[in-house]
């Protein structure tokens, strides 16, 4: 992976559009933490990357949890007494509370209202509700429609099933020179929601394609899992090998117009934290760094004390902080190709730092080497040349075996890619030697 390849304003062609197109393909599916929506999602993803789908049977104990029964849904609606469908799952899969048990009954408005969910503050939007671990059923609708409901006898049908089956997740492994791994994890369990769910999924797919096309120092493991129960299940099944994970990122909410946000790992000063913060600091755009809290996405499972994996979370606007969050307004218009591409570029930049962040030893440590006689000092240079020389001097000075290139970038305030290029130049002239850690 070269650092130089990250330069330029549009380095990835139409990748933002490509990510958005994949989201559009996945958007109509009714996903949940189990079920055919997940399988179909992974099938579509497998058109892009050859991931492996796993099925874990209902009832499997996973640490303190149990793999739940599998939920599927065919259709659902509410009809008035004239037989008119006033709400139809076919129009939006958000209309049904996710994991609703099957229902077929007639009831009056008062009783129906106990099973209706709306968002009075955004009366045109349909909320997204789930009831995974408590048997229940319900419908979600626009508050405007709710207010127009008349006294009537309604027929409600939820043609769903909740039965023994499997929990489905996908995994894609890319072998690198080292068995040490970078973990990229995204959740895939939300139905038609874009920023929260599909943006992270799509970015991860294109990141996997991109990383797969490069020579790699690290091995990469991409997880496409239902939130919470998926990461718990994966950790329970892979406990023996999680020690290989040296760096990790949960990717979610990366397509909205907000500024980039990086939530630090539990460790707070892991290499991924420093790499991601360096990228955002030098991005030229506004950004936010959030401290770790044991809430949010799957980073909280990876960061449980029994694992304490160095996994941060890359977002734009965090969950719950944009009004469209968990509503029908988190749709394909809310996430835009430009923002997806910007998030993608930042993720790639951080991975590039991890790939090339090595520690070197100055081979001429007693006083400065004479750069001029090696052609490294160019007397005619202007501002760029002076900053290049300054970078060479920083790298020479701090390459005492104790400072990695990222340490040097941070201490000098220089960009990591400049530091990396200076190191390449010095290596080529025999002035640096790589230190191989074990």
Residues of the shown chain interacting with Zn ion in the complex, contacts defined by CB under 5 A: 196
Residue 314 or 431 having the CB closest to Zn ion = 314
Residue 375: alpha-carbon gap to chain centroid: 45
Min separation Cβ 201 and Zn ion, Å? 12
Residue 190 or 246 having the CB closest to Zn ion = 190
Min separation Cβ 340 and Zn ion, Å? 18
Whole-number Å distance between alpha carbons of 143 and 140: 9
Min separation Cβ 226 and Zn ion, Å? 11
Residue 196 or 324 having the CB closest to Zn ion = 196
299-316 core/surface letters (b: 16 or more CB in 10 A; e: else): bbbbbeeebebbbbbbbb
Residue 212 or 258 having the CB closest to Zn ion = 258
The CB-nearest residue to Zn ion is 196
Residue 245 or 335 having the CB closest to Zn ion = 335
Min separation Cβ 363 and Zn ion, Å? 52
Whole-number Å distance between alpha carbons of 4 and 357: 14
Instruction: Taking the CA atoms of 336, 337, 338 and 339 in sequence, report the sign of the dihedral they define.
Output: positive
| Sequence-ordered list of residues with C-beta below 8 angstroms from that of 409, at least 6 positions apart, any chain | 278, 415, 416, 418, 419
Query: Of the candidates 156, 214, 155, which has an alpha carbon nearest to the alpha carbon of residue 12?
Result: 214
Min separation Cβ 202 and Zn ion, Å? 15
Min separation Cβ 38 and Zn ion, Å? 15
- Helix/strand/coil percentages in the chain, nearest 5: 35, 25, 40
Position of tokens 């239902």?
Answer: 226
Residue 189 or 277 having the CB closest to Zn ion = 189
Q: 20 pairs with which residues across the strands? A: none
């Amino acid at each position: 992976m070269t650092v130089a390849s990250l330069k330029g304003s549009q380095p990835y062609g139409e990748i933002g559009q490509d990510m958005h197109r994949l989201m559009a393909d996945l958007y109509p599916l009714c996903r949940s933490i189990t079920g055919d929506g997940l399988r179909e999602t992974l099938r579509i993803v497998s058109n892009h990357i050859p991931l492996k789908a796993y099925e874990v049977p209902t009832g499997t104990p996973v640490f303190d949890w149990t793999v739940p029964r599998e939920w599927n849904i065919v259709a659902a609606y509410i009809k008035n007494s004239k037989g008119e469908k006033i709400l139809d799952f076919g129009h939006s899969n958000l209309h049904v509370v996710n994991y609703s048990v099957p229902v077929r009954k007639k009831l009056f408005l008062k009783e129906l209202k106990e099973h209706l969910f709306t968002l009075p503050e955004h009366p045109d939007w349909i909320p997204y509700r789930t009831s995974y671990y408590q048997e229940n059923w319900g419908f979600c609708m626009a508050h405007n429609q709710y207010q127009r409901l008349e006294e009537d006898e309604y027929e409600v049908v939820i043609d769903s099933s909740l039965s023994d089956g499997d929990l489905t997740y996908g995994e894609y492994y890319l072998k690198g020179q080292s068995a040490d791994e970078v973990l990229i994890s995204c959740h895939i369990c939300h139905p038609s929601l874009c920023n929260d769910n599909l943006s992270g999924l799509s970015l991860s797919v294109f990141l996997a394609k991109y990383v797969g096309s490069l020579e790699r120092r690290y091995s990469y493991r991409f997880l496409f899992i239902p939130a919470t129960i998926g990461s718990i299940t994966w950790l329970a099944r892979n406990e023996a090998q999680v020690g290989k994970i040296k760096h990790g990122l949960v990717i979610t909410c990366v397509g909205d117009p907000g500024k980039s946000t990086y939530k630090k790992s539990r460790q707070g000063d892991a290499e991924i934290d420093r790499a991601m913060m360096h990228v955002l600091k030098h991005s030229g755009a506004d950004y936010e760094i959030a401290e770790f809290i044991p809430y949010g996405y799957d980073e909280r499972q990876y960061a449980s004390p029994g694992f304490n994996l160095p996994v941060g979370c890359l977002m734009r606007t965090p969950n719950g902080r944009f009004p469209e969050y968990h509503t029908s307004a988190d749709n394909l218009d809310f996430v835009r190709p430009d923002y997806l591409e910007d998030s993608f570029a930042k993720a790639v930049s951080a991975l590039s730092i991890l790939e090339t962040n090595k520690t070197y030893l100055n081979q001429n440590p007693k006083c400065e080497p004479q750069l001029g006689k090696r052609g490294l000092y160019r007397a005619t240079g202007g501002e760029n040349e002076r900053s290049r020389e300054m970078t060479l001097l920083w790298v020479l000075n701090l390459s005492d075996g104790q400072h990695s290139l990222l340490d040097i970038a941070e201490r000098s305030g220089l960009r990591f890619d400049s530091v990396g290029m200076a190191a390449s130049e010095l290596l080529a002239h025999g002035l640096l030697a790589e230190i191989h850690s074990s």
